[in-house]
Amino acid sequence: MNNIIIAVSIAGIAGIAIAVSMTVGFSTNNPWDGMTCEEMMNLAMSPEHRTFTEQQHMKFHMVLQPCIETNTMSNMTDMNNMNP
């Protein structure tokens, strides 16, 4: 009986370890890794963006935010440099 309990416990721990490693592996798989700001802005508007997990979605927007701020500041500078 004790051998069965030990075997089940080991199998349970192995299952948890596999589940955690799969989750960690998946969560670090970011489709936007290596993209430029322009490519990430296009990704934000694409249907693929809607397939992200909640965790990926939050990470993506954290990475995208500086691109949005830089783009916004650049557009404001361009508007200020226009001749009236």
Q: Give the residue-averaged pLDDT of 72-83.
A: 61
Q: Say which residue the tokens 């290596």 belong to.
A: 34
Q: Give the residue-averaged pLDDT of 26-47.
A: 87
C-alpha 40: how far from chain center? 11
Rounded to two decimals, the pTM is 0.53
Nearest-5° angle of CA 66, CA 67, CA 72? 95
Q: Where are the domains of the chain?
A: 1-30, 31-84
The pLDDT score that the predictor gives to residue 12 is 56
Measured distance CA(13)–CA(43) in Å, rounded: 38
Q: Give the residue-averaged pLDDT of 37-47.
A: 93
